[in-house]
Amino acid sequence: QVHLVESGGGLVQAGGSLRLSCAASRSIFSINYMGWYRQALGKQRELVAGMTRGSNVDYADSVKGRFTISRDNAKNTLYLQMDSLKPEDTAVYLCNARAGGGYYWGQGTQVTVSS
């Protein structure tokens, strides 16, 4: 099992930046895949960015060039650097880990971008 805790959300003006963190309860070195999802009010949850154990990354088209996913295995933490934020990025952002055949989720952190 993996317990995930997100932090770093908040209110920011359009064009601003935030960095989200996802702290895991155990080593993430062996976790096959970790990612960030988001869910806006009234919309389906969508993948924002993901990273494999081998550091291959993928991004949603809507965030390419603005968001960067990274991981620090020594700190058991996944990050999402979000730059040039837009009002349409407003959502609850959730951390996800796929390990041992299971899917694990954090509780989410709210990101609100004002115009």
Cβ–Cβ < 8 Å for 21, 10: no
Mean pLDDT of the region 3-29: 96
CA-based nearest residue to 109, from 43, 34, 39: 39
Is 10 a residue whose pLDDT tops 90? yes
Average pLDDT value for the chain: 96
**pLDDT tens-place string over residues 37-89:** 999 999 999 999 999 988 899 999 999 999 999 999 999 999 999 999 999 99
Q: What gap in Å lies between CA 57 and CA 24, rounded to an integer?
A: 19
Confidence of residue 30 (pLDDT cuts 50, 70, 90): confident
Question: How big is the chain by its Cα radius of gyration, in Å?
Answer: 13
